[in-house]
Amino acid sequence: MNIKQLRYIVAIANTGTFREASEQLYVSQPSMSIAVKDLETELGFKIFERLNTGVNLTVAGERFYEQAQSVLRNFDTFEAKYMSPAATQRSFSVASQHYDFLAPVAVEFSDKNPDIKTIRLFESTTYNILTEVSDGVSDIGIAYLNNHNRLGITRMLDKLDLDFEELLTFKTHIYLRKDHPLASKAFVTNEDLRPLSRARFTQESEQFLYYSEDLVETFENTKIYNVTDRASLNGILERTDSYATGSGFIDKESVHNITVVPLEDGNANTLILIKKKNQPLSEVTKSYKRSLENYFEQNKF
């Protein structure tokens, strides 16, 4: 058993087919199939049930897959800490709060860096973002600072031996469905929002308010939809009079029924790029930062 075989198992289980997994890992399908059969023979049980449409994990395979994921996460963290940047720079990982600009920026970055074969966009909780960068799993993190969270976030950055660079300052915007009663206004106020329900991204440590992605305070008795992904959040906004908060940057090719309206006297928020302390940005990371800057320049308000 080796790490390469574990990567094959996880990729096959995630994609559901040998073909897609082999394309994802840039390995020939016959080589991958032989490696998996050799591992199954070594283990003494079948990991996959082969079907005409793909594969399913067996009961024993399900347990093996879960443990293989854990082993790979630990190995990747270990590898990222001790291998030279040049040895690991065929891949690039970004841990971020939930922003619509991540997709178009990733596409431009990919076009400019054809040698990077794997680009990982990990949208998660603020705590996970910080630990991903600290552990070396992600090259950089993206989050925001303002007067409400700056002290708590910077304290945690210091604790994890992390630093940050400022990318841009943005005003708080309110996200609404396009035919929402407030959508035609030049700006909205807190009083406009008071009677509305809201959708927001769940944080795993809600007791730490500075981890929140909310850019306005929650009013008393407000109905709240807690979600973990942008598709669910947009789906709620499209179907209700709820609102969400954010930077105002929307990928219009992906989000068709949502609009943004600035919040009157909204917070001044600073988008930041999180990195390891006392470690210069790699050339690849600098390229990603330039793609971010290009996007903001082309889509500025």
Return the domain boundaries, the chain: 3-82, 84-301
Q: Which residue has the higher pLDDT, 98 or 254?
A: 98
Predicted pLDDT at 81: 66
CATH architecture of 84-301: 3-Layer(aba) Sandwich (3.40)
pLDDT band at 214 (very low <50, low <70, confident <90, very high): confident
Token readout for 234 is 């947009």
Q: Report the alpha-carbon distance of residue 165 to residue 274 in Å, rounded.
A: 7
Work out whether strand 244-246 and strand 173-177 pair parallel, antiparallel, or are unpaired. antiparallel
pLDDT band at 250 (very low <50, low <70, confident <90, very high): confident
Average pLDDT score over the chain: 89
Token readout for 140 is 């950089």
Burial track 186-210 (b if 16+ CB lie within 10 A, e otherwise): eebeeebbeebebbbbebeeeeeeb
pLDDT tens by residue, 98-124? 999 999 999 999 999 998 988 999 999
pLDDT tens by residue, 156-212? 999 999 999 999 999 999 999 999 999 999 999 999 999 999 999 988 655 566 788
Token readout for 160 is 């994890």
**Which pTM was predicted?**
0.71
**CATH code for 3-82?**
1.10.10.10
Q: What is the DSSP string of the chain?
A: --HHHHHHHHHHHHHSSHHHHHHHHT--HHHHHHHHHHHHHHHTS-SEEEETTEEEE-HHHHHHHHHHHHHHHHHHHHHHHHS-HHHHTTEEEEEESS-TTHHHHHHHHHHH-TT--EEEEEE--HHHHHHHHHTTSSSEEEEEE-TTTHHHHHHHHHHTTEEEEEEEEEE-EEEEETTSTTTTSS-B-HHHHTTS-EEEE--S-TT-GGG---SSPPPTT--EEEESSHHHHHHHHHHSS-BEEE-S---TTT--SEEEEEBTT--EEEEEEEEETT-PPPHHHHHHHHHHHHHHHHT--
